[in-house]
Chains A and B, each alone.
Chain A
Amino acid sequence: MMIELTEDTLNPEKITELVRRDTNGSVITFLGTTRDNFEGKTVLTLEYEAFDEMAVKKLEEVRQELMAEFGLEQVAISHRIGTVGIGEISLVVAIGSPHRKEGFNACQKAVDRIKEVIPIWKKEVYQDGSRWVACEDHEFSPEQASGQGHSH
């Protein structure tokens, strides 16, 4: 399966094998792994949530875009969802191509696009709380927060 959302542990070798062809001289596999810290705080675990139907559809669109732009035929993307422990693999992008250059470029673009458009969210869980990543602009200022409950 060239696009996959799964709660199971990702197997990068298996995903890489999907894009290997005798006509390809290059295989690039990118692994996104879960980091154990944020601004000095220890991250205990990560929780990934997806809008499944749209995420799969948008991943396939990204895959088609990459294949068209870089003239590729083999692109596989797997994203883990659910609870993911520290140091585990949350994303695998594998790209097979005749030559390395388009493979590297396509891989970089794939990860950038995934982070921009795919409706998947990650929450970092700390000892004393949690945080939805990339939602800083949604914090209420103290004035706004104190005004809540009186609005309408």
Chain B
Amino acid sequence: MELNVRLFALYRERAGKNIVTVAVADGATVSDLTDEVRRQIPNLAPPEVKIVVAVNTDYADSEVVLQPGDDVCLIPPVSGG
């Protein structure tokens, strides 16, 4: 399946775009998705950094299984306030 992954702040700037389209297998997890995004955009984050993901506006653990049509967003470290 193809998913449109939204990027914000640092990730948006590093990628040079606010949406990246990635193809992952059916049954793919959040961590499969971040692996694929990293392959497409190696300068997104250093390999030792865990990329935080939101699925359908909730934080999602790496083992969460993705569904077609999910709203997937990559969340760099937050700094509100």
- Closest chain-B Cβ to A75's Cβ sits at a distance in Å of 16
Please report the number of residue pairs spanning A and B whose Cβ atoms sit closer than 8 angstroms: 89
Please state if B79 and A111 are interface contacts (CB–CB under 8 Å): no
Determine the residue in chain A with the shortest Cβ distance to B39.
Answer: A152
A51 B42 Cβ-Cβ under 8 A = no
9-residue interface stretch from A15-23, A66-74, A120-128? A120-128
Q: Which of B43, B59, B75 contacts A148 (CB 8 A)?
A: B43
Known contacts A57-B57, A144-B46; A118 and B80 CB within 8 A of each other: yes
Size of interface on B: residues with Cβ below 8 Å to A: 24
The complex places the Cα of A119 from the Cα of B76 at a distance, in Å, of 8
- Tell me whether A107 is interfacial, beta carbon within 8 Å: no
Verify A54–B54 contact, CB threshold 8 A.
yes
* B58 / chain A contacts, CB cutoff of 8 Å: 54
Contact of B25 with A by CB under 8 A: no
Contact of A79 among B13, B43, B47, B80 (CB under 8 A): B80
Chain B interface main SS type: loop
CA distance A149 to B42 in the complex (A): 8
Per the bound structure, the CA–CA distance linking A99 and B75 in Å amounts to 37
| 8 Å CB contact of B49 from A32, A55, A118, A138 | A138
A141 on the interface (CB 8 Å rule)?
yes
A132 touches B43 (CB 8 A): no
Are B46 and A138 touching (Cβ within 8 A)? yes
Chain B residues in 8 Å Cβ range of A117: 59, 78
A-B pairs, top 3 by smallest CB distance, nearest first, are A120-B80, A121-B9, A133-B79
